[in-house]
Amino acid sequence: MDELSPSEIRVAFQGEPGAYGEEALRVLYGPDVEAVPCPTFRAVFEAVAEGHVDSGVIPVESSLGGPVAESVDLLLEHDLPISGELSLRIHHCLVAPPGLALEDVEQVLSHPQALAQCAGYLRRRGLRPVPETNTAIAARRVSREALPRTAAIASSLAAELYGLVVLEDGVEDSSDNYTRFVTLGQEPEHTWKRRKTALALTVPNEPGALYRVLGAFSARGLDVSRLESRPQRRAWEYVWCLDVEGALEEARVREAVQAAQAACITLRVLGSYGVA
């Protein structure tokens, strides 16, 4: 099959034009791809699984707000391997319709992760946070619905797209504010800094079970860079999600995964991919 040109590649993201997901996909796939907005994270997965798009981009973790639980759970639910990763610097702005002064703002719409990343700023300003499904959707609502005394936290691009004014920029609580995005489907043509392997596994409910899994990687000098648990459908039973530095093409990574599998009830590779 002939390779698609960038202009023919369709990449799904959650939200509306101007969302950080769109920014991430253009960094990974280039400025000329067709960005396809989806209303929910689940819709992104379904668009990729059903072949309506070539790839999808979803956020999985914020350096300030922690894991994006819905995205992680959807990765566990679907059989779509991760094909790439990007840590995107997030620069939030307080945006509002022209004519609304900063001192007149009482409430702020944005995605819960964005609100968490700006929680200190909102407290200092005495502004009430109102959750919305996406930062760009929040900006669009503020622009189109003329909500009284209401601003949004979104990107400067979203402000430009929806005719809003930036009241203050850099309103995130830390300059070290990044969101980790992963791609599903077609691998981006990108220069990767390193490679990693993501795993999901369950272990017996007995002493030392997880220790034996981690030992398989430690014994081979491999760094487990992320470890988190997600609840299963059965009460008090969990899936462990691990990120291991290195690709499955490396012998020691393959050996470590095989050794870990022997200590697990189940083990699934979520992807072995490049990190931008």
Q: Which residue in 188, 147, 189, 152 sits closest to 16, CA to CA? A: 152
Helix, strand and coil content of the chain, in percent to the nearest 5, comes to 30, 35, 35
- Residues annotated as catalytic (active site), given as ranges: 179, 181
Tokens of 221: 């000098």
Task: Quickly count: other Cβ atoms within 10 Å of residue 208's Cβ.
Answer: 11
Instruction: Tell me 42's DSSP state.
Output: H
192 contact partners, CB below 8 Å, separation of at least 6: 84, 274, 275, 276
51 contact partners, CB below 8 Å, separation of at least 6: none
Q: E strands, the chain, where?
A: 10-14, 34-38, 55-62, 66-67, 82-89, 93-96, 107-110, 128-131, 150-154, 165-169, 178-185, 194-202, 224-231, 238-245, 266-275
Measured CA to CA, the distance from residue 113 to residue 41 in angstroms comes to 14
